[in-house]
Each structure stands twice: as structure tokens, then as C-alpha cells.
Amino acid sequence: MRLFRRVKRVGLPPGTVQYVGQTVTQPIQVQTLAYGPETVVEKKDLSIEECLKVGDGAAVSWINVDGLHDTAALERLTSHFKIHPLVIEDIVNTSQRAKLEDYGGYLFIVIRMLDYDEEKQEVSSEQLSIVLGPNYVISFQEIPGDFFDPVRERIRSGKGRSRSSGPDYLAYMLIDTIIDHYFVVLDKISADIEEMEDELLEKPGRELLETIHGLRREMILLRRSVWPLREVVARLERAESPLIRPGLNLFLRDVYDHTVQVIEGIESFRDLLSGLQDLYLSTISTRANQVMKVLTVIATIFIPLTFLVGVYGMNFEYMPELKIWWAYPALWGVMGAVAGAMLVWFWRKGWM
């Protein structure tokens, strides 16, 4: 998890298009999906110039761009749709928080796509930038691969309102799919937390504490990614832009409810992880106290025995007990009786 990465942009004027993200060597990939109530045209691996011609006459055109490192190609695409330089700057700067900006002719939306690696127990976060126009949606991703195959399949098959609605409904489907995947991430984290609880009760160790601490840091990333999204969805629901049709409000309200549920789940997991950390420290302290109690009981029993041994270990000439033949077994008997009496006393006190 990397909480912040923006050093490369220090000192640059506003609107400077400079990619800030992972090092990528492969060319950007462009996919298009132009559709209407009766037709669907899907194309892959297009050049920037080719994708500009897609969707002429179609009700909705979806242009998906994988890769943000080729800023020259992105500027050719965005200039065709008359997108503001500040928007292009935010697209290639992949450390943005979720937000919504209204530029009149189009809406600019930033949202974080999250995934969870169960082996490494790490949350990965990728920025998705969406430009919603009158008859198009452009989505920008840093890395190839997304969670939108169900959306594409719904458009291909014409299920529901996907083909009969406008680009605002497409943007809604993208946002809704990402938020639905948040629940998948939370389910995986929940399973790991349950395993940690069981392990904590059976064999707590230093590695478990490090795992709990690492997962708490991952929850910080989750919170930073999801918390601003509630405001974005609320603004979309209340938006007076002609790009958002009135019938979409009900769907956006449902997305808002899901966002609140995700935030509540994140806060619950943060509390659980804090509780696990406290339980770990309490368990370790209890085990240490148990060990110290046993050692204290043993040491206490041997104090009078050590006293007796010390007395009869002195090198005095006149010690009458030393001349009696039964003195040695008698001393062992006294020592055994003292130790037994102390054990019985400790047991009655509840110290054992």
C-alpha cells in the first residue's frame, strides 16, 4: 500500500500533463462499444485516431482506455472531445481522491477500483476516471483489466435498461459495479479477520501482530478510497445537469445506500482489528502472568526449604542433630511437609 505519491508534480503549473503512476512499457489499449436499442458494435485494440470515428450515429459510445503513460495520445483523444486541460492533468495523475466536477458539456468523475490479494493480505487501488458526455462515456484506467465484463455482457445481450438508456445509465453501471466489488473485498477481509481471531486464541505470535497491524494500514487505504465516494454519489443524485436524466435518481440512491454500507463495514473492520490488537496484547500479558505465577509459587515453596538446607549446611562443630541417626530422614520429612502444606494453602487460596 502506498498512501501518497505526488513528488514528481511539485512546482509544475496547473494543467501540466505529466503521468504520475506505475512504470508501464506496453502501448495503451483502446476498446470501444457503440450501441443503441437495436445495434451493438464492439472493437478492440484501436488506435486513438480509429476510436474517434467509432460511434458515429450510435446512441451511446463507450471508449475505454487502458494505460495513461502515453500523454501525447491521451491529449489527442481528449482534445477531440474538447476536454479541459485540468481534467487531463487529473486523469494522468493517479493519486486523485474520488470526486465529481461539472464542466457544463460533460461531467468528470474519479473513483477508485479496489481489489484484495488474499495471499499477501494487501489492498490494491487503481484510479478510474470517467468523462460523461451527451452521447459518450470515456473511461481511463492505468492498468489493463477491470471488473466491467458483466456490464459489457449486459450491453451485448440487451438485458435490462442497458441498451435503451443513455450514457448516464452506462456511467451508473460502471460506478455500481465498482461499489459492488467493494463488498467482495470486504468479504475477503472478513474471512481473514475470522482466521486471525481463531489463530489469536490458539497460538498468538509476533507474526500475527504484524499481520493485524498491516491489515489496519490497508483499512486506511480503503477508507481514503471510499469515504469521498459518498459525496460523489450524493452530488450525482442531486445534480441539475441535463446529462443526468431524472429517472436515474432512484438508481443513484441505491448506489448511495451501498456506499454507506461499505463505509460502515470498513469502520466495523477497523474496530475489530483494533480489538484484535488489544486482545493479542491482553493474551500475551495473561500468558506471561500465568508463567510468572507458576515461577512465583515454585520460588515461594523453595524459600523455607532453602532456609533449612542453609541452616544445616553451616560448618559449626556443635550441632546435636547431626549426631542422631534419624536426623537426615527427619529433615527430608520436615521439608516435604512444609512443601505439601504450602501447596495445599496455595490451592485453597485459588492461586493454583
Say whether domain 7-283 belongs to CATH 3.60.15.10.
no
Q: What predicted TM-score, i.e. pTM, was given to this entire model? A: 0.78
Cell numbers found for residue 239: 445534480
Cell numbers found for residue 203: 497460538
Give me the amino acid identity at 333: G
Q: Note every long-range contact of 74-82, with CB atoms under 8 Å and residues 24 or more positions apart, other chains counting.
A: 74/17, 74/28, 74/140, 75/17, 76/48, 76/49, 77/48, 77/51, 77/52, 77/138, 78/131, 80/52, 81/106, 81/131, 81/133, 81/136, 81/138
The yes-or-no verdict on residue 281 having pLDDT over 90 is no
Burial code of 328-350, b = ≥16 C-beta within 10 A, e = fewer?
Answer: eeeeeeebeebeeebeeebeeee
Q: CA–CA separation, 205 vs 47, rounded Å?
A: 54
62: which strand partners?
33, 137
- Could you give the strand order of the β-sheet that contains 107-117, starting from the edge strand earlier in sequence? 40-43, 29-35, 60-66, 136-141, 122-132, 107-117, 99-102
Residue among 76, 77, 80, 132 nearest 103 (CA): 132
Q: CA–CA separation, 342 vs 92, rounded Å?
A: 76
As a whole-number percent, the residues of the chain with pLDDT over 70 amount to: 90
Residues 227-273: pLDDT tens digits? Answer: 999 999 999 988 888 899 888 889 999 999 999 999 999 999 888 88
The pLDDT-based confidence of 21 (bands split at 50, 70, 90) is: low
Average pLDDT, the chain: 83
**Integer-rounded Cα radius of gyration of the chain:** 34
* Phi, psi angles (nearest 5°) of residue 181: -70, -25
Q: Is there a contact between 30 and 51 (Cβ–Cβ < 8 Å)?
A: yes
The pLDDT-based confidence of 1 (bands split at 50, 70, 90) is: very low
More confident residue, 148 or 351: 148
- What is the pLDDT, as a whole number, of residue 131? 94
Residues 87-145: pLDDT tens digits? Answer: 988 888 888 889 999 998 999 999 999 988 888 888 888 899 999 999 899 999 988 88
Mean pLDDT of 271-294: 81
Q: CA–CA separation, 333 vs 338, rounded Å?
A: 9
